[in-house]
Structure 1
Amino acid sequence: MLLNVSYNNKEVTRKVDKAVGKPFTLKERWKMNGIGSPKLFITETSVEINNLLILDNNTNSCNIEMRPEGIIVRFRSLLETFALVIPYYKLTVYKGDFAIYSIYRDNHFIKVKSDTKAIQKYFRKMLDFKADNTPTSIGDL
């Protein structure tokens, strides 16, 4: 789900929290050595996201926030902040050639450069957390 999260709107916050869970507590963040990614440079996106990004001439970048039940990919266009909210059961990540990670949710995708060890380490942490916290069968729900 692609949302404008620029303003403090209770309805948008409720939708995000329902989809990916409430934010981690400070103690949990400390224990996990952080939940946010380094700055990620966008190389390619789906049409709907691209239509937002081409509105300004800034460098296209984003960051990822881990939540208990999914991730939030945030990026800016003009003076607005947008979020692609992805629950773990809909998240698909591919590592392509030339150090590119592709993040998919249904018909939305974002491809980012992974040219540093910090970015690769973050994606490993995120995918390990997803594997440990995604139900494997209906009985696990």
Structure 2
Amino acid sequence: MLLNVSYSRIEITRKVDAEVGKPFTLKERWALGGIGSPKLFITAASMQIRNLLILDNNIDCCNIELRPKGIIVRFRSLLESYALVIPFYKLVIYKGDMAMYTIYRDNYFIKVRSDTKAIQKFFKKILDYKTDNKPTSIEDL
């Protein structure tokens, strides 16, 4: 689900919380060693996201927030902020060559450079958290 999150609206907050859960508490963030990614540089994206990114001449970058039931990929275009909300059951991550990760949700994708150890470590954290908190039944979704 691709959303414009520039303005604080309760219906968008409810949609995001229903999809990927409420944000972690400070204690949980500390225990996880942080829930936010370093700055990620976008090298390719699906048509819907690409159409938003080409509106300005800035460097295309994003960041990822880990949530209890998924992730949120946030990026900016012009003066607007957008979020690609991805629950774990729809999240697919491919590691390409040495310096690329591709994040998929249905017909959306974002390809990012992973040229530092911090980025690779964060993607490992996402995948480990996803496998450790896999739902055991259909009701857990």
TM bucket (normalised to shorter chain) is over 0.9
> 1:87 maps to what in 2?
87
Tell me the alpha carbon deviations over residues 75-124 of structure 1, each in whole angstroms, 9 at most, x when there is no partner: 00000000000000000000001410000000000000000000000000
> 1:127 maps to what in 2?
127
| Correspondence 1:47-66 to 2 at 5 A | 47-66=47-66
CA change 1:4–1:117 in 2 (3 A) is same
| Correspondence 1:29-48 to 2 at 5 A | 29-48=29-48
Q: Could you tell me how far apart the structure 2 residues matched to 1:90 and 1:8 are?
A: 25
Gap regions ≥5 residues in structure 2: none
Three-state SS of the structure 1 residue aligned to 2:48 is helix
Gap regions ≥5 residues in structure 1: none
What's the CA shift for 1:139?
7.4
State which drifts further: 63-72 or 126-135.
Answer: 126-135
Three-state SS of the structure 1 residue aligned to 2:50 is helix
Q: Could you tell me how far apart the structure 1 residues matched to 2:64 and 2:96 are?
A: 19
CA change 1:139–1:51 in 2 (3 A) is closer
TM-score normalised to structure 1 length: 0.97
Q: Could you tell me how far apart the structure 1 residues matched to 2:109 and 2:139 are?
A: 30
CA change 1:139–1:54 in 2 (3 A) is closer
State which drifts further: 129-138 or 93-102.
Answer: 129-138
Large movers: runs of 4+ above 4 Å:
none
Calculate percent identity across the aligned residue pairs: 74
> 2:106 maps to what in 1?
106
Three-state SS of the structure 2 residue aligned to 1:103 is strand
What's the CA shift for 1:14?
0.3
Structure 1 position 73 matched with structure 2 position 77: no
Tell me the alpha carbon deviations over residues 45-92 of structure 1, each in whole angstroms, 9 at most, x when there is no partner: 000000000000000000000000000000000000000000000000
CA root-mean-square deviation: 1.2
Q: Could you tell me how far apart the structure 2 residues matched to 1:73 and 1:138 are?
A: 25
How many correspondences in the alignment?
A: 141
